[in-house]
Amino acid sequence: MVAIWLPQMAMEHWQNTHSEWDAAQPFALASEGSNGIMIDAVSTMARKAGAKPGQRLTDARAICPTLAIHFSDPAGDTQRLVQLGLWAQRWSPWTAVDGRDALLLDSTGAAHLFGGETAMLRDMHRALTQQGFTSRIAIAPTIGGAWALAHFGASASMVVTQQDLAPELAPLPIEALRIESDTALLLRRLGLNTIGSLADIPTQALARRFRKYRREIANPLKRLQQAYGQSEEVVEPLVPCPLYRAVKRVSEPVRYTAILQPILRDLATQLCHKLEASQCGLRRTCFQAFRVDGHIARLEVETAAPARSVQHIVRLFAERMEKLEAGFGFDAFALTALWHEPMQAIQKDLEEDEDQQGIPLPYLLDRLRVRLGSHNVGVLAAHPSHIPERAVIQSGNALTLSAERIADLGAEHITDLNRPLKLLEWPEVISVVYATPDGPPRRFRWRQQLHDVVQHQGPERIAPEWWRERSDVRLRDYYRVEDDAGRRFWIYRNGVVDDGRGAPPRWFLHGLFA
């Protein structure tokens, strides 16, 4: 486990973002507390003058009358720490926030990628220093051990193995066990000032003495066992560990987005190989570009069906690469499968030519969504209704359909073959000339144009859905007609003569044939 402590994160961030700040002026960040205004962080000059975090402003001003203050932003500090934790995933996919000024990383199986644990710590120090943060970092087999060494260790950078853990923890003060102040005060009154002195006490005696302390932060025995690895400790990471992820680092920062496509292709190739080995396909993937100044440029795409085509993934991201802001340059990249589904391999035919197959429907939907926006692309789906305008519905998002559903769209007959290819959104009223009131049309006018009917077929009677319609809804008689210019229309008479529905029947045009 890696513990990164940023003791002056809030103050250093304020100094980095306020160029007008005078370094010679004692300065502090403060917030309103139950006992008045309390000091949260102090500058170097204020610390030398005697001010320290946790003091009341009146006490700090008594020591340092020239102390200037600015109200702190705890919510902003927490958000920045979370963002820093996500940025730290360049070293490990498992990161967590610890309090308001510390991070935890699980470096298991990752240190060798950076030349070993010592080299990885140097890389962490360098990257954090470039962002203007002072850091103390320690690597230990346990979370408690790494935290204690980072906060109270003799060096700002320490790597401790399991064999050296107990000797390194023994001389540290009792506060290094992450216990609350009242418990630490009680232990000091008992003469237990260091972790080693507490470890020398028999476990049964400590258990009897602190059996009423249920919370971990108040129970020194529980914290002692966690620090030595004798008891498990559960910490929730910022994001679940990605199952499939490809990472790439570059020796020189990349400042131009135009050259990111080869890097993306390499990442997609690695990721697709991992997915293929597990017979899975992408449904949602995230491309992350880590900037040297701590910013993470992020792009996400979703697919309509499981996919692991390198060319398709690169094409989806390539159209949005220009939106990334390189700033001082990117030095690390990652491609993560946020959502994946089972995807079986399909054997191609011997005579199949990939270049002549065209674009599969799911790939077409993906490309349209990237260009037009996900809310502007949908697919048609059959609906159990015999009313023409209700027999087909449009899904607001193509991603709501499963892979099997999309694969079947090309073969599914939403309606029978006698339906028009173009159905109007709303039937339009037309005026019709007919031989008899219940006979076929002979001539009709639609959109100020007169059409003479030379052929007709019908009627096809469609009754209303009585279980969902009102009682005054009339039945329809549909006709397929062709005019003297060869144009074919789908029109219907709404109601029949003397059906007891009041007004005479009306005619509507509902669709157009090819």
The DSSP call for residue 23 is T
* Per-domain boundaries in the chain: 8-76, 78-227, 244-347+357-415, 422-512
Instruction: Report the share of the chain in percent with pLDDT over 90.
Output: 39
Specify the pLDDT at position 353: 53
Contact between 474 and 495 under an 8 Å Cβ cutoff? The reply is yes
Instruction: At 122, list the tokens.
Output: 């140097």
Domain 244-347+357-415 has CATH 3.40.50.300: no
Write the pLDDT tens digit of every residue in 10-42: 999 988 888 887 878 899 999 988 778 999 999
Provide the whole-model pTM. Answer: 0.59
Q: With 80 as the cut, is the pLDDT of residue 207 above it?
A: yes
- pLDDT level of residue 130 (50, 70, 90 thresholds): very high
Q: What is the structure's pLDDT at 374? A: 72
108 pLDDT more than 80 = yes
| CA end-to-end span of the chain | 68
DSSP state of 400: G
Average of pLDDT values for 267-293? Answer: 89
Q: How far apart are CA 41 and CA 373, in angstroms?
A: 45
The per-residue pLDDT for range 139-192, each reduced to its tens digit, is 999 999 999 999 999 999 999 999 999 999 999 999 999 998 888 998 999 899
CA distances 490 to 188, 418, 436, 443, 512, Å, are 92, 10, 19, 13, 6
Q: What pLDDT is attached to residue 411?
A: 38
Q: Give the C-alpha separation, 176 to 127, whole Å.
A: 26
Residue 91 has pLDDT above 50, yes or no: yes
Q: Which residues of 240-274 are buried (b: 16+ CB within 10 A; e: fewer)?
A: eebebbbbeeeeeebeebeebeebbbbbbebbbeb
pLDDT score at 401: 47
Phi-psi region of 81 (alpha: psi -120 to 50; beta: other; left: phi over 0): alpha
Judge whether residue 360 has pLDDT over 90: no
DSSP letter for each residue of 272-339: HHHHHHTTEEEEEEEEEEEETTS-EEEEEEEEEEEE--HHHHHHHHHTTGGG---TT-EEEEEEEEEE
According to CATH, the topology of domain 8-76 is: MutS, DNA mismatch repair protein, domain I (3.40.1170)
Q: According to the model, what pLDDT value does residue 358 have?
A: 57
DSSP secondary structure code for residue 203 in this structure = H
